[in-house]
Structure 1
Amino acid sequence: MRYYLYGGFELPRDHGRVILGDPDQRRDFWEEVEAHQYGLSDACGCYVFGIRVGGGTKPWYVGKAERQSFKRECITTDKLTKYESAMAAMGKGTPLLYFYARATKEKHQFSFPSTAKHRDVNYLEKLLISHALQRNKNLINKMDTKLLREMVVPGMINTPKGSLSIAAKEMRTLMGY
């Protein structure tokens, strides 16, 4: 399996709120996505909601579209509520969606959602969550984050303040994290 990254696709907003509650707005958003990459809205994989302020973008939510397409998973009422809470926490910024689309190995075509689950999609979501938590401790995700929030591995995860041991510095170089 292979993943291709697309985005960030700007979510429309009004007075700081993401405004994709209207079916016409959702249709327009997905038409923009499709214009960029045909078939992406019907694909499966993982997605990241981020907010760009100034020159940088911070992740706020990581999700997976495994049993449903991106189109059916990413802009539900529940997700919009999460995105709006992140926008409220930031107070300003541009809301963006990024898609890690799963592709077939043989023909390099997008994979479709499956009730049988794609184990790699689940794994990628957890991996993305761990990276997102390193960039934003206020990540909205709750599921699968407790361990990642509490675990301390000097030089790798939740490194305490202060200097690292020589071994931790060497391991950081050795492992590339």
Structure 2
Amino acid sequence: MDFGVIGPIKLSRHGKKRLITADSIKELIEELESKEEGLSEACGCYVFAKQTGKGLMPWYVGQACKRPLAAEALNPSNREKYNTVLDAKGSPVLFFLPLRTPSGKLRKRPKGVGRIHALDFLERWLIAAALERNQKLKNSKETAFLRTIHVTGILNARKGGSTKASRDLSRTLWP
């Protein structure tokens, strides 16, 4: 399965409180469609992050298969989650990972209730990676388990818990 990566795409904020609103969806769809026709309607995963002078910090990971990518990424529930981490500092951004065919075209969303297992896997993997970077990740799906598993010096490592073996394994897996 092939996935592209698009972003970071800066989200517009509206009103006195400068929140992400339904108006932000319209602008996001236009931005995605200007990058590639059909992108806003594709299926795939997305990562919401906040960009500051210190870099990018992930705050939420999701997938869209039943609904279009743009609509799912900015649905009312997600906007509420995103708005809880916004303040005067930083810009809200989204990364999109659309599923592609072997020839590079955007994969259409499946009809009916079909699941795409590669999307489920990628979402879980992205959640694990984002949680490693930000323990305050807004996801609840999958995170209870991921927050409790610890591998010495590798996953959810504790300070001073690294060993020679864990450092060697880390260099083996991530040279």
Q: What is the TM-score normalised by the length of structure 1? A: 0.90
1:48–1:63: 8 Å Cα contact kept in structure 2?
A: yes
Match of 2:107 in 1: 111
Give ranges in structure 2 of 5+ residues lacking alignment.
Answer: none
C-alpha distance in 1, partners of 2:25/2:66? 20
Q: Secondary structure at the match of 2:84?
A: helix
Q: Which runs of structure 2 are paired with 1:60-139 in the superposition (5 Å)?
A: 60-88=59-87, 91-105=88-102, 107-114=103-110, 115-139=113-137
Q: 1:69 to 1:149 in 2, by over 3 A?
A: same
Match of 2:13 in 1: 13
Q: 1:55 Cα deviation (Å)?
A: 4.2
C-alpha distance in 2, partners of 1:59/1:174? 26
Structure 2 counterpart of 1:21, one-letter code: A
C-alpha distance in 2, partners of 1:16/1:10? 17
Match of 1:57 in 2: 56
2:48–2:59: 8 Å Cα contact kept in structure 1?
A: yes
1:90-110 Cα shifts (integer Å, max 9, x gaps): x521000110010012x3211
Q: Secondary structure at the match of 1:113?
A: coil
2:98–2:106: 8 Å Cα contact kept in structure 1?
A: yes
Q: 1:164 to 1:55 in 2, by over 3 A?
A: closer
C-alpha distance in 1, partners of 2:83/2:156? 27
C-alpha distance in 1, partners of 2:173/2:79? 37
Q: 1:176 Cα deviation (Å)?
A: 1.6
Q: 1:50 Cα deviation (Å)?
A: 0.2
1:98-134 Cα shifts (integer Å, max 9, x gaps): 10010012x3211122231100000000000000011
C-alpha distance in 1, partners of 2:131/2:5? 19
C-alpha distance in 1, partners of 2:3/2:25? 24
The count of aligned residue pairs is 172
1:44–1:70: 8 Å Cα contact kept in structure 2?
A: yes
Q: 1:154 Cα deviation (Å)?
A: 1.3
Q: 1:66 Cα deviation (Å)?
A: 1.6
Q: Secondary structure at the match of 2:60?
A: strand
1:29-64 Cα shifts (integer Å, max 9, x gaps): 211111122221011110000000114010000000
Task: Choose the corresponding residue for 1:151, options 149, 152, 169.
Answer: 149
Q: 1:144 to 1:163 in 2, by over 3 A?
A: closer
1:134–1:157: 8 Å Cα contact kept in structure 2?
A: yes
Match of 2:172 in 1: 174
* RMSD (CA atoms): 1.6
Match of 1:3 in 2: 3
Q: Secondary structure at the match of 1:146?
A: helix
Q: What is the TM-score normalised by the length of structure 2? A: 0.91
Structure 1 counterpart of 2:168, one-letter code: E
Runs of 4+ more than 6 Å apart:
none
